[in-house]
Structure 1
Amino acid sequence: MPVMTILSCKILQDEIVHLLERDPAVNEIIVVKNNEEQELISKMDAAGLHYTLMDLEQLPPSPQRMDPEKFTVIICLVELALHEFPKTLKVEVYERIGRMTTYSDGILLFYGLCGNVLDKVEEDFRGQENTCPVRILRDEKRIVDDCIGATLGGGDEYLKTLKMLSSQGTFLFTPMYAHSWREIMRVDPEKPEKTLKMLRKVNEITGYKRVAKVNTGLNYTENFHEKVEEFAQIFDFDILELEGNQRIFQDCYASMKKLMGLPGMM
């Protein structure tokens, strides 16, 4: 039974649900319990996806899964707040890869360069290429910069967008980013106004005056527009709209399936 692990930042959970919902070749979905999965499984429930929730220690090692006709996907989410600490993020991701190798025939990272700390991840795990290859999100030329770059379609599209927005500082929000901005920006739930006051000052100093909604085409996260409007109102920002897509995620998922000897998406 070929087993693919998707090791992902929590902010890309919608993209995972979308892929699983569209791929009838998946016979089994396992979600690793680690206190990061609750929103994901709620969305999977709403989408009608069947899954098993397991502690990591409950997973059977890959060699014990001998049925070549079945395809299993394991989902392991990583804490969102780690993006603020790139070196810690690298340690955590590398440790997770090392642990998941035992249970997987291939590991697909739903990450970008993330401050360049993951730029060598495929090279660093090249020694297990024949047993459990590791791949990261990339376009036709290179690894994507981050989740926004992946959603916009890759490095060239991201650079073009940033140049277009260069006249004023602009936050780019996907639905999950909009949903999680307080967590990402570490707004103290006990004393939010203190943090928001500091953020307003930082935005003033750095020249941030706008927020752009990146429309991903996915509707798993509710109240996208309302969350962006809330953010804009708090900081007195203008709102722009940008179009994103799922091409990078679909292409990288299909490429990993092919590498594992499985047919493409649909």
Structure 2
Amino acid sequence: MGRLGIIACQVLEKELACLLREHHEISRIYIERSAENTRFASLLDDDRTRTVNDADFLPVRCSGTEVLVDVLPAALHSDVDELEYRCNAQIDAMKQNTSAILLFMGLCGNALQNVVVREDVPLVTIEDDGLVDDCIVALLGRKRYMEELRKMGSLFLSHGWVTHWDRIVRKIERDMEGFKMVLRLDDYRRTRYIHTPGVDEGNILAAAQDLSNDMELEFTSMRGSLDLL
């Protein structure tokens, strides 16, 4: 028994919700109050969930196996200094109330290289022959990702990427036209939407197809996995 802290990228919110619902041994899911976490709680839709204003006021004793979740906004990977700062700050806020902390994200442009070496708190990361580079590698695995890269010209999309597309594009290139120009210059030819088992796609697949059309890229898809998560 104990309490696991989870710091997650919003791009992987659906995958995290799917996994938490499957782990019936978890007795309580605490979620700190924020816009991203409120959205996550609605996606999770689980009776074990409790929203808290301050994790410092959580019970010292755990009632079984518990988790404390904080979801960081999508697109922080576009500013590695900000992502590193936010992760370190949240680890500092969580470490007194958890026995270990899971970083539910990848290295993200090496933003976490100075975070994962911290020795003041047990950290758990998503691994596949080392810490995964990003959320796409987390869903495909390193070997398959490298095989896809060798085909050249693919823009990978996941449920989270499509859901938070506007925010991601604004952080990277400010507007869609500028982003489309980058795609043309880098010779992108197709999108590769990753279907993730157990994740309810709803209208996301149609949205992914619309994005592909808007970017003048061929829409293709492939199967992903939750095995590394």
| TM-score, normalised by the number of residues in structure 2 | 0.92
Confirm or deny that 1:115 pairs with 2:109.
yes
Query: Which runs of at least 4 in structure 1 moved beyond 4 Å after TM superposition?
Result: none
Map 1:39-54 onto structure 2 (within 5 A).
Answer: 39-45=39-45, 48-54=46-52
Larger Rg, first or second structure (1 or 2): 1
Report if aligned partners of 2:27, 2:48 keep a CA contact under 8 Å in 1. no
Q: Which one has the bigger helix percentage?
A: 1
Query: RMSD in angstroms over aligned alpha carbons?
Result: 1.9
**Match for residue 71 of structure 2 among 61, 77, 80:** 77
2:120 partner SS? helix
1:172 match: 156
Letter of the 2:100 counterpart: G
**Match for residue 185 of structure 1 among 166, 169, 192:** 169
Map 1:23-42 onto structure 2 (within 5 A).
Answer: 23-42=23-42
- Deviation, structure 1 residue 242: 1.5
Change (3 A) 1:242 1:33: same
1:262 match: none
Report if aligned partners of 1:14, 1:221 keep a CA contact under 8 Å in 2. no
Confirm or deny that 1:134 pairs with 2:128.
no
Letter of the 2:83 counterpart: L
- Deviation, structure 1 residue 210: 1.2
2:54 match: 56
Letter of the 1:224 counterpart: I
Change (3 A) 1:135 1:120: farther
Report if aligned partners of 2:3, 2:62 keep a CA contact under 8 Å in 1. no
For residues 176 and 218 of structure 1, the distance between their equivalents in structure 2, rounded to whole angstroms, comes to 14
Query: What percentage of residue pairs aligned between the two structures are identical?
Result: 23
2:145 match: 158
Letter of the 2:137 counterpart: G
Letter of the 1:55 counterpart: N
Letter of the 2:124 counterpart: R
For residues 54 and 191 of structure 2, the distance between their equivalents in structure 1, rounded to whole angstroms, comes to 38
- Deviation, structure 1 residue 120: 4.1
Per-residue CA deviations over 1:130-166 (Å, capped at 9, x if unaligned) read xxx1111112x2000100000002x222212211x31
Q: How many residues matched?
A: 227
For residues 222 and 243 of structure 1, the distance between their equivalents in structure 2, rounded to whole angstroms, comes to 16
5+ unaligned residues in a row in structure 2: which ranges? none
Confirm or deny that 1:100 pairs with 2:84.
no
For residues 66 and 77 of structure 1, the distance between their equivalents in structure 2, rounded to whole angstroms, comes to 22
Change (3 A) 1:66 1:20: closer
1:127 partner SS? coil
1:209 match: 189
2:67 partner SS? strand
5+ unaligned residues in a row in structure 1: which ranges? 188-193, 250-266
2:170 partner SS? coil
1:144 match: 132
Confirm or deny that 1:236 pairs with 2:216.
yes
- Deviation, structure 1 residue 14: 1.3
**Match for residue 65 of structure 1 among 61, 76, 80:** 61
Report if aligned partners of 1:176, 1:221 keep a CA contact under 8 Å in 2. no
Change (3 A) 1:102 1:176: same
